[in-house]
Amino acid sequence: MGATRSLAQTAPQPEVPAIAAGKVKRWPPLPVLAFLVAMVIPWQIYIGSVHLSCTRLVLLVMLGPAMWKWVTGKAGGIRIPDIAVLLFIAWCGFATVQIHGVDYAFQSVGMLFIETAGSYFLARAYIRTEQDFYAMCRALFWVVACLLPFAVVEAVTKSSVLLNFFEKFMPSYSPIDAELRWDMRRAQVVFQHPILYGVFCGIAFAPTFLVLGYRKSLAKRWSKTAIIVAATFFSLSSGPMTALALQVGLVGWNWVLRGFAGRWKLLWAILGSMYLVVSLFSRQSPAQHLINLVAFDKGSAWQRLLIWEYGSASIAAHPLFGVGFGDWPRMDGQTSSVDMFWIISALRHGLLAGIFLGIAYLGATIMIGFKRGLSDSQIQCRTAYLICMVGFFVAGWTVDFWGEVYTAFFFMLGSGLWLLAVPDKAAIPLRASRVTSTEPSPRAPRQLIVNPRRGASAPRR
């Protein structure tokens, strides 16, 4: 017994996760922090025919360094989503040339490359550890928290306070004529549309609750998470609020069934059964049911259903290169706006664009979802990432992501791939993850090795 305890004491102790040990960065790397701050500065910069926002400017500056780190292997190994993102951009560019010509495609594809590859590879290159991910989540929380007071004022006074302020110094996004809901103005704050503001705020829910709230009391967790909920609420938009409600449900499911290892398999089984029942016994498709479920009102649901029906038909009619940025066939009186992120790429640039986008999204989420050998705190990071991406998935059926939210989608998509580089040997048991001290254990004294046949022998060195 004594010898056994001695050997256990001298065995190398597993590495304590950074968050569990309190080893966290207060702020993310400067390029990531600059990107998050730039997204809430609505100034628009015009250089001839080139239109740059603050977000685009940061991405333009950091595109080269980020791509270089990826190419040289400093951002981890090359992954399937990396290739899918580049193929998505390449096909969109090729299809745009076929529809509109080289001159039109040059600037359009250039901006597409800056926003898509720039934001995705910025996350890939500069969020490489658990500490980086924690610091990014913390910065995202504080950005949303700083916007909340202005959202409240805007909703109550019905005046775009921040946009009017920024407009005094440089051209900014224009306030839209948003309708009142519950006698409040839909808060736009610094974004192009209230629904974009709501989507941006909603993505911070799971990272705030699961990552920033790791090993914190429920009171501390919810005090921060309540800020995210309130900020999303004042967008008064169905898409963001539904995506937020789903994230709350998934976090609750994870917490209630935390002692059941198969909780996510059970959830997938329930969702699969529901999909099968709807497909077999309903006159509407599962997608139509989803759109009806998440729409704020009947008129909004009707518009989304028309977008789905006519958009799908247009993709089937123009599967190779799409219809480009021009008009698309639809019912008389139907709006030309395509408020559905998950079909607009295939509608404009052909089916392959939608396929590459799907591979990037599913490739990242599936590989991270099946990653093994993670510590307890890294599992929390993974769960937060996946729930955040589920929120994006649901919101994408009710709104197109453009501008800052488009870049936020690809940034968040790339922000979790550091988990794939975590070696399996870094995983530690749940008991060991509760250790808070990182001091090395004292060297155990030499023990006599007792052999039952020979008696005591010399000390082991």
Q: What's the pLDDT at 21?
A: 54
Is 370 within a domain? Answer: yes
What distance separates the 2 farthest-apart alpha carbons in the chain?
97
Annotate 258-297 with b (16+ C-beta within 10 A) or e (fewer).
Answer: eeeeeebeeeeeeeeeeeeebeeeeeeeebbebbeebbbe
Phi–psi pair at 50, nearest 5 degrees: -85, 130
| Burial grade of 92 (CB within 10 A; 0-12, 13-18, 19 or more) | buried
Within 13 Å and on the Cβ side, how many CA atoms surround 450? 6
Phi–psi pair at 324, nearest 5 degrees: 75, -155
Is 433 within a domain? Answer: no
The pair of three-digit structure tokens given for residue 452, joined into one six-digit string: 């039952």
Q: What's the pLDDT at 297?
A: 58
The pTM of the whole model exceeds 0.75: yes
Calpha distance 142→330 (Å, rounded):
42
Calpha distance 171→168 (Å, rounded):
8
Calpha distance 109→250 (Å, rounded):
37
Calpha distance 18→46 (Å, rounded):
43
Contact 343, 398 (CB under 8 A): no
Number of separate domains in the chain: 1
Q: Find where tokens 């775009």 sit.
A: 160
Is 431 within a domain? Answer: no
Annotate 418-449 with b (16+ C-beta within 10 A) or e (fewer).
Answer: bbeebeeeebbeeebbeeeeeeeeeeeeebee
Is 3 within a domain? Answer: no
Is 448 within a domain? Answer: no
Calpha distance 243→249 (Å, rounded):
10
Q: Find where tokens 């789903």 sit.
A: 246
Q: What's the pLDDT at 180?
A: 82
**What is the DSSP secondary structure assignment for residue 208, as one 8-state letter?**
I
Helix axes 130-157, 218-233, angle to 10 degrees: 50
Is 24 within a domain? Answer: no
Is 293 within a domain? Answer: yes
What's the domain range around 88? 31-426
Instruction: Determine the 3-state secondary structure of 190 from DSSP.
Output: coil
Q: What's the pLDDT at 178?
A: 72
Query: Which residues are 456's β-sheet partners?
Result: 450
Q: What's the pLDDT at 388?
A: 95
End-to-end CA distance of the chain, in Å?
A: 18
Instruction: Determine the 3-state secondary structure of 367 from DSSP.
Output: helix
Calpha distance 379→228 (Å, rounded):
22
Calpha distance 242→249 (Å, rounded):
10
The pair of three-digit structure tokens given for residue 141, joined into one six-digit string: 């929380």
Q: What's the pLDDT at 440?
A: 42
pLDDT, tens digit only, all 461 positions of the chain: 444 444 344 444 444 445 655 566 788 999 999 999 999 999 999 887 788 999 999 999 999 999 999 999 999 889 999 999 999 999 999 999 999 888 888 888 889 999 999 999 999 999 999 999 999 999 999 999 999 999 999 999 988 899 999 999 999 898 887 778 888 899 999 999 999 999 999 999 999 999 999 988 888 888 999 999 999 999 988 888 988 999 999 999 988 888 888 888 898 898 888 878 877 777 776 766 666 665 555 566 677 788 888 889 889 999 999 998 888 887 777 777 888 899 999 999 999 999 999 999 999 999 999 999 899 999 999 999 999 999 999 899 888 899 999 999 999 999 999 999 988 754 444 333 333 333 444 444 444 334 444 444 444 44
Is 206 within a domain? Answer: yes
